[in-house]
Structure 1
Amino acid sequence: MKRIYAIPEWCVNCRRCEVACKAQHSPWPGNIVKAFTLAGDEIYNRVRVEGDNIVSFAANCRHCAKPKCVEGCISGAMQRDPETGVVTSDPSRCVGCRTCVSMCPFGAISVVPAPSGVKSIALKCDLCGDGAGAPGEPSCVAACPNRALMYVESEAM
């Protein structure tokens, strides 16, 4: 299966991956201006840059073959598709317990307010695949100016 890999040595901490992710998951996919001005803080990016101007990298889901987040999920919200290998989080089933956050070895899961505002839900990369780059390439990968994010075939993890 194809996975996103970060190359820390090439990351310049520009955060374009975060911006592209937020825009892609807004009601206006790919429209950065509308995503930031109209949606504001209601849309959350699923990748985040960690580090500083010296050493940084994009923390994102690796869609593991045996995901610890799925094993630890008490509500069944975290699931791995057996055919595609994509690990997803179902917000309607998530109870906001944060077990998946503590179990993920890559720190790739965030907890954000639910759209209803009543509870918190787990949020993670969904391999959006609708970026402006190559067909099927996630938006974060397409937005990276240094190609510090790569979307490549790999059986590892």
Structure 2
Amino acid sequence: MMKKIVIHEEYCIGCRLCEIQCLVKHSSSGKIIKAFREEYPRPISRVHVEEEGYLSFALQCRHCEDATCIENCMTGAMHRDEKSGAVICDEEKCVGCWMCIMSCPFGVIQREKKERKIASKCDLCGNDGEPACVANCPNEALSYEEN
């Protein structure tokens, strides 16, 4: 059993704090102002809030059991972490072919343009306990639970 982020859209108010906290967590500085004003290219959030009328919810990698991104990755960059069970992208192995992006049924993998183009997705904050998006959601619209 692995822990996964569970979305409770009935509590989401669309504040986007999950996006901001994710961006800061994956920045070089770990500081909100520096991440937004001084880091170039700006880090990207690995969670995105979708909105449709009055409904909003945070969308990120589901760490699928039968992950098509792993199956279609030609370099082995997309893999399952042995310890946590999370689907992770090894940035050193990623060649930017985007097969993972094309095969993800949820559309949650994106292109990051650092020094080179690589795939970027939720990594559950690298097993640092509770992911930043969950820890900083003011309305508890995200939870981190055993599945």
TM-score by length of 2: 0.90
Q: Is the 8 A contact 2:108 2:121 kept in 1?
A: yes
Distance 2:40 2:73 in 1: 30
Q: Is the 8 A contact 1:59 1:107 kept in 2?
A: no
Give the aligned CA root-mean-square deviation in angstroms: 1.6
Per-residue deviation at 1:111? 1.1
Q: Is the 8 A contact 2:80 2:88 kept in 1?
A: yes
Deviating more after overlay: 17-26 vs 74-83: 74-83
Q: How many residues get paired?
A: 145
Q: SS state of the match for residue 101, structure 2?
A: helix
- Is 2:144 the counterpart of 1:143? no
SS of 2:64 mapped into structure 1: coil
Identity %: 48
5+ unaligned residues in a row in structure 2: which ranges?
A: none
Question: Could you say which residue in structure 2 is the equivalent of 1:133?
Answer: none
Compare relative contact order (CA 8 Å, sep 6+) and give the higher one, 1 or 2.
2
Tell me the alpha carbon deviations over residues 73-115 of structure 1, each in whole angstroms, 9 at most, x when there is no partner: 11211001234201111122212222111221222111121x2
1:79 and 2:72 equivalent? Answer: no
TM-score by length of 1: 0.84
* Structure-2 separation of matches of 1:74 and 1:21: 27
* 2:27 aligned partner: 26
Counterpart position of 1:9:
10
Deviation at 1:70, TM superposition (A): 0.3
Aligned residue for 1:42, secondary structure, equals coil
Contact 2:134 2:140 in 1 (8 A): yes
Once superposed, which parts of structure 1, at least 4 consecutive aligned residues long, lie more than 3 Å away?
none
**Displacement of 1:53:** 5.3
